[in-house]
Every structure is written in structure tokens, then in C-alpha cells.
Structure 1
Amino acid sequence: MIKFFRKIRQNLLIENKTRKYFKYAIGEIILVVIGILIALQINNWNENNKQKTKEKAILENLRTSLENDISTHHFHIQVYEEAKSSIQFLIEFIEKDYQYQDSLKYHFGRTTHLWNPSIRLEIFENLKSIGFDIVSNKDLKQEILRYYSYANTDFVTSKNRYDDIITNANSNIFNTRFKAFWNGNYDLFRKTGIPNDLEIEMIPNDFESLKKDDEYLFFLRSLKNQHYWFAERNNLNAKKIAENLLLMVNQELEKNKND
């Protein structure tokens, strides 16, 4: 093709048709420019397709991670709901001056629940290394940043504060008032691996003295409030944000599928 155009130019110059030569040269330049633009367009199209494929893979992985997070949040909401119920039950039981029952050991145990809630950060770290611009939807990108910012700040701070409350109580309160911290049916739990099969129990040394123990009662009543702020509220917020983000991810994947 190049030889063909060169031959035409040479013939025009030999025949001294300068005006026609310049017209032809301009036309040839235009054709070259158009060819370059088409090539660039095809290259851009290919790059966009690659980016969309990469974005789709990331969003699908994010969806799986969020589904796991939501399941984890749901579990922790349930077990901490049990803890809240046991805290309230013990406060009322002691205030009404009831006599000790063997089932109380499970309520004492549940007040110390620490199931270590967590948010998976692998996808977020992967996104950081790739660059958040891979997510084309700006609103979705902001919601991703919001969720993982919450995971790294408020969520982990609240979790650690509640962990510290229970851990400190073990060293300063439970150690002088109960026979042991976190006794339980671990043999059954080891066999099944099912969290609900693990019944934590704590037996008081002297229940009648415990009912009049101002320090312990202050701890228990305060724990009810701390439980709300650092455990219950924390897991509910995390689940709500994760569910909203998952909805946006599903909508984006559906939109991309239809494009």
C-alpha cells in the first residue's frame, strides 16, 4: 500500500502536476491521521474492556467478602443479644433477691461474651494497591471507602474498648468472686465447631455476698450501658453499612451486565 502511494506521488512529480500533488499529499495525510485515530480508538476500546473486566472481578470479590461480613455481623448481633439479655436478667434477679439457681452460671458466663467481631480487609487492601479509580461509580467508591474507614476506626475502637472492659474485669472483679473465668463444655464445641454448642459458665463463690457487692453490681449495671455503645450498636452499624454497600455492588454489577 505504501509503495502504491509512493508511485502515485512520483508520477505526479514527473508529470509536473504540482497542484494535484499537493492535493493528493493533503489527502494522504488526512488518511494517515484518520488511520491513527481509528487505531487509538480501538486501543482505548480494548483498554476500557480490560478495565471493566478487572472492575467486575473486584466487585464480585467484594460482594463475596461483604456477604461473609454480613453473616459474621448477624452472628455477633445474636450472641451479643444473648449477653444483653443475661446482663438484664441478672440485674433483675439480684434486685429481687431471689435464691441461687444452677442455671445462673450460664447467665454469668454470657455476660462476658467476647466473640471477636471482625471485618475482612483483604479486598480493601487489594483495592488500595490497584487504585480506587478502578471503581467507575463515584457513589459506590465513596461507600466502599466509608465502610472500610469505619472498619479501621470506629468499629475496631469500639471492639477493643469492650474487650478491655471484660479483660480488666477478669483481673479485677471476677477473679475474687467466681470459681473460674470461662468454664464451658469445650469438648462438645471441639467436636462440632458450632458456636451455639459452647455454653460458657461462671459459678460465684458466694451468691448471697455477691448480691450485696456494690462493686460488682456497679460493674454489672455499667456493663449494660457499655454493652450497648461498644458491642450491640457497633455490630448493628457495621451490618447496616455492609448491607447498603452490598446493595450498591449488586446494582453496579447488574448495570454493567446490561451495558
Structure 2
Amino acid sequence: MKRILSILSQKWPEYILEIIVITIGILGAFALNSWNESRIRSNMTTEILTQIRSDIEDNLSDVSGDYRRLRLGRQAHINVIRYIHSDMTYMDSMCFDFDFLIMDEYTTANRAGFDALKENGFDLVKNDTLKWRIRSLYETALPRIEAQGAFHEHL
């Protein structure tokens, strides 16, 4: 025991230096790990928000196309009613109107980005306004549009 105390009293500066170096190494490893996790999380956020933007652009294009076709369908219904009430003879152009009578449009939103955000946590998005708008779009607006059948005036 005396021998151990003797060695410790002679080499205590070396041992303290080793303890300090090991402590700094451990703290550095934790800092590096934390930085790496933050970087990965930031990259994930960027990827998810990019996917959401792409999904929204696709959804807007789909809804715009549906809207145009529904407007044509509405006009076709009006034309067919006029044909019926006016006793017009059949014309080739009427076949398009009759075709539009059975046309149906519906929207199925692309949700890959939103599903990824939900899965990884909404806290990935730091901007509260952006987070609220994304949730409002995917949880309120798009389900209403998807639930609408064709030829609804408020679509």
C-alpha cells in the first residue's frame, strides 16, 4: 500500500494529465456525435421539405387539370340539356358532350413527403408557420378535396 501511495505521490501530475486527456477525448466524441446527428437531421429536413414541395406541385397540377376537365364537363351538361330542349338534329360535335356526361374526375394527393414528416416528427420543421400550413394542407384541405365527388361546385 505504501508503495502505491509513493508512486501516486511521485507521478500524480502524469495521472492527472491522463485523466484530463481522456475526459477531453470523451467530451470531444460526444460533441462530434451531437454535431453529426444535427447534420443528419438537417439533411433529412431538407429532403423531406423538398419532397413536400414536389408533392404540392404535383397535387396542384392534378387539381388544376381536374378543374379544367370538370369545367368542360359542366359545359357539356349544359349543352346536352340545350340539345334535349331544342330538338336539334344530331351533330358530330355532340359526341364530345355525351362523352363528358360520363366523365369522372377525382384527386388522390401525393403524400410521400408529408408521411415522411409525420413519421420523423413535425419538430423537424423549425418554422411554426410553415409547419402549420403543411399540416393544414394535408390534414384539412386535401382530405376535403379528395372526399369531393366530381362536379361539385365548391371543388
> Given the two structures, how large is their TM-score scaled by the length of structure 2?
0.71
How far, CA to CA, are the matches of 1:61 and 1:154 in structure 2? 22
How far does residue 104 in structure 1 lie from its aligned partner after superposition? 1.7
- Which of residues 55, 59, 63 in structure 1 aligns to 2:53? 63
* Aligned pairs (5 A) from 1:122-137: 122-137=112-127
- Structure 2 counterpart of 1:48, one-letter code: S
Match among 4, 12, 20 for residue 7 of structure 1: 12
The match for 1:73 is: 63
Preserved contact between residue 76 and residue 98 of structure 2 (Cα < 8 Å): yes
Deviations 1:143-167 (A, max 9, x none): 11111113663122213xx4xxxxx
Amino acid at match of 1:111: L
Distance in 2, matches of 1:126 and 1:53, equals 13
What is aligned with 1:140?
130
SS state of the match for residue 89, structure 2? coil
SS of corresponding position for 2:148: helix
1:113 aligns with 2:103: yes
Give ranges in structure 1 of 5+ residues lacking alignment. Answer: 11-27, 163-226, 235-259
Q: Which residue of 2 aligns with 1:244?
A: none
Name the amino acid aligned to 2:12: K
| CA root-mean-square deviation | 3.1
In the other structure, the counterpart of 1:157 is 147
Structure 1's 67 and 130: CA in aligned 2 closer, same or farther, altered over 3 A? same
Shift in CA distance, 63/153, structure 1 to aligned 2, threshold 3 Å: closer
TM-score by length of structure 1 reads 0.46
- On the 8 A contact 2:107/2:145 being kept in 1, the answer is no
The partner residue of 1:54 within 40, 44, 58 is: 44
Tell me what 2:92 maps to: 102
Q: How many positions carry a matched residue from both structures?
A: 141
- Structure 1 residue 54: Cα displacement: 0.8
**Counterpart-to-counterpart distance in 1, 2:141 and 2:103:** 21
Identity %: 22
Take 1:148 and 1:125, find their aligned partners in 2: how far apart are those partners? Answer: 10
Quickly say closer, same or farther: Cα 1:94–1:136, change in 2 above 3 A. same
**How far did 1:40 drift?**
5.3
Paired residues for 1:1-259 under 5 Å = 7-8=12-13, 36=27, 42-150=32-140, 153-159=143-149, 162=150, 227-229=151-153, 233-234=154-155
Paired position in structure 1 for 2:5 = none
**Preserved CA contact (<8 Å) 2:76 2:100:** yes
